[in-house]
Amino acid sequence: RGKGLPAVGTAALVLGVFREAAYDEPELLDVVGRIERSLARNLGGDDFVTAVVAGCPEPGRLETVNCGHAPPLLIRGTEVTAVEPVHPAPPLGLRALSEDTPRLQVVPFDDGDQLLLYTDGVTEARDAGRAFYPLSDGLTRSLRDGPDRTLAALHQDLLDHVGGRLHDDAALLLLRRPAAAQAGESAVVLPVADVDGATAA
């Protein structure tokens, strides 16, 4: 929530706590709990952070905890499906105001499957007619052989939608579980597009 230096500071806080907790805590829900406790001590009463925290603890198993964030998109072959939270939880920093608590959601994540995570700067990008960017349709159009090529195509599709320049920060993260036959490839590939800076890597 928010923009400018306060939002940057909040993001830095969340990432710092996450990086520490990810090494110490064996369970994803415990990582989320550490972030929540830190934010309760450090955020103002009106501040909050939406997040999807994901882990792949073993082959074929993807764990996610969604705290008020837009649902990731699961790509299996050419099919794109939103991973809607079964038990929605409030954004981080607002748990004290809600009886809902984060819950772990397990999704099959097999060889070749991909998961797209994104910020609201992507889905809230508008064209000249004020229509929001249809991310699921854009992703389906942009699927390519490799995650780097998919992100590059998706990035271009988004820029085409808005007329060449975004007016808000936006980021895309694409995770892919390599097929077993692809020897020597790491377990998960993490291409990132920082579409505010018009780069894809």
Q: How does residue 196 score in pLDDT terms, banded at 50, 70 and 90?
A: very low
CA gap 170, 185 in Å, rounded: 28
Q: Let me know if residue 179 belongs to a domain.
A: yes
Under a CB-based contact definition with an 8 Å cutoff, are residues 95 and 36 in contact? yes
CB 51 within 8 A of CB 92: yes
Instruction: Inform me whether the pLDDT recorded for 195 exceeds 80.
Output: no
Structural domains counted in the chain: 2
- Asked if residue 79 belongs to a domain, the reply is no
**Token duo for residue 40:** 């309760």
Could you give the percent of the chain with pLDDT greater than 70? 87
Residue 148's pLDDT band (cuts 50, 70, 90) = very high
Residue 184 maps to a domain: yes
Give me the pLDDT at residue 84, please.
94
Decide if 158 is inside a domain: yes
Average pLDDT of the segment spanning 129-133: 95
- Is residue 163 classed as helix, strand or coil in its secondary structure? coil
In the predicted structure, residue 85 carries a pLDDT above the cut 80:
yes
What pLDDT score was predicted for residue 2? 67
Specify the pLDDT at position 108: 95
Does residue 24 lie in a domain region? yes
Q: Distance (Å, rounded) from C-alpha 65 to C-alpha 89?
A: 8
Please report which confidence band the pLDDT of residue 43 belongs to, taking 50, 70 and 90 as the band edges.
Answer: confident
Q: What is the reported pLDDT for 161?
A: 96
Residues 130 and 189 in one domain: yes
Residue-number span of the structural domain to which 124 is assigned: 111-201
Q: What is the mean pLDDT of residues 179-184?
A: 57
Taking Cα atoms as reference points, which of 149, 135, 118, 141 lies closest to residue 52?
118
pLDDT the model gives residue 53: 93
Residue 188 has pLDDT above 70, yes or no: no
User: Could you identify the residue written with the tokens 């309760």?
Assistant: 40
First to last CA, the chain: 26
Structure tokens at 160: 């085409």
Residue type, 188: V
Helices 135-142, 147-162: inter-axial angle, 10-degree rounding: 130
- Do 194 and 127 lie in one domain? The reply is yes
Under DSSP, is residue 5 helix (H, G, I), strand (E, B) or coil?
helix
pLDDT for position 190? 47
Q: What is the pTM of this model?
A: 0.83
Residues 6+ apart with CB under 8 A from 39: 13, 14, 17, 47, 48, 49, 92, 93
How many whole angstroms from its chain centre is CA 169?
14
- Asked whether residue 164 falls in the same domain as residue 185, the answer is yes
Query: Are 102 and 141 contained in the same domain?
Result: no
| Burial (Cβ within 10 Å: 0-12, 13-18, ≥19) of residue 62 | buried
